[in-house]
Amino acid sequence: MELSFLTLQDEINKLQRGETTLNKPLKPHTTWRIGGPAKLFYEPDSIEGLVEALRLINKRRVPWFVLGKGSNILIPDRGINGVVIKLGENFATLKQEDELVTVEAGFSLIKLAGMMCKKGYAGLEFAGGIPGTVGGAVYMNAGAHKSDISSVITKALVLFKDGKMTWLDHAELGFAYRTSFLQSEGAMCLAAQFKLRKDDPVKLKAALQRYKAYRKETQPWKDPCCGSVFRNPLPHYAGQLIEQAGLKGYTIGGAKISEKHGNFIVNTGDASANDILKLIAHVQQEIEEGYGITLETEVAYIDDAQLQTS
């Protein structure tokens, strides 16, 4: 298997469409600072380069996974036995035509929200404290403060796992609570167009600061974490249930339920993915037994079953 990754690396390098690294450590590329290496780590230089490389990856039937800023995911301790495609700085262009803003997938969601508020365009204030990229936000339908990506997006450029690329409109993206059509299809968002509206920049920046201040006050933003671990079982809230169950501060290995917010698990310094999984399972069992409510995870555990193949 190692030989096949070396061969694939050579083939991708011949395209001169980005950078590749064998056995790349993934801890620095996740907000939890957890996980083993990627057999092959690929940073494409453009959408065209990614499409060409994906054709080679699929031809060799090597599984792959797309990575943005690494929030809302848990990488196994053994790593990823496939290609990790990193959409980063090479996927961060922005074009604006009045209220329509088109952004590539690697653009920081926090940065985008701040820029638009400063320029006097409303709609993304809710995202001012959400870590991650535009691509990941579309994939997860990220949201906060009673709003989400589906409320402002008009269409997205989508690359399917078979290499087909097309723009999908809002209805075709199949948004629901913390999910989208992309998840069921194993497709990736390459760019998105948002419809914003003109508003007072002073008012927008004030709203953005309120949301950021709230997050800093109520969430462990200084500690390595992934964001919310569990989906809210509406009308209940996962964090409140966990707090009511007396689980704040509960620790397994290096993983601890935040004392600031029950729906956050922090890495206290040396947590393994296995520590996180055990803690998640413990919380689910306690909430099921205590309240008869099944907590589903929002964070995705990237095991072999989660990797994509053509």
pLDDT score at 59: 93
Q: Which of 71, 228, 258, 272 is catalytic?
A: 228
Cα 163 to chain centroid distance, Å, stands at 21
Q: Which of 43, 104, 125, 298 is catalytic?
A: 298
The pTM for the full model equals: 0.92
Is residue 33 flagged as an active site residue?
no
The alpha carbon dihedral of 254, 257, 260, 261 has a sign of positive
Block means of pLDDT (10 residues each) for the chain, length 310 residues?
Answer: 84 96 96 96 96 94 93 95 94 96 96 96 92 94 92 97 95 94 93 97 93 89 94 95 98 98 97 98 98 96 81
Is residue 17 flagged as an active site residue?
no
What are the strands of the beta sheet with 265-267, ordered from one edge? 251-252, 255-257, 265-267
Q: How many CB atoms lie within 10 A of CB 69?
A: 21
Q: Which of 147, 178, 185, 286 is catalytic?
A: 178
pLDDT score at 308: 79
Q: How many CB atoms lie within 10 A of CB 293?
A: 12
The angle that helices 47-59 and 2-15 make with each other, rounded to 10 degrees, is: 150
**What type of residue is 271?**
A
pLDDT score at 3: 62
Is residue 228 flagged as an active site residue?
yes
pLDDT score at 1: 53
Domains of the chain: 2-89 (3.30.43.10), 92-199 (3.30.465.10), 220-301 (3.90.78.10)
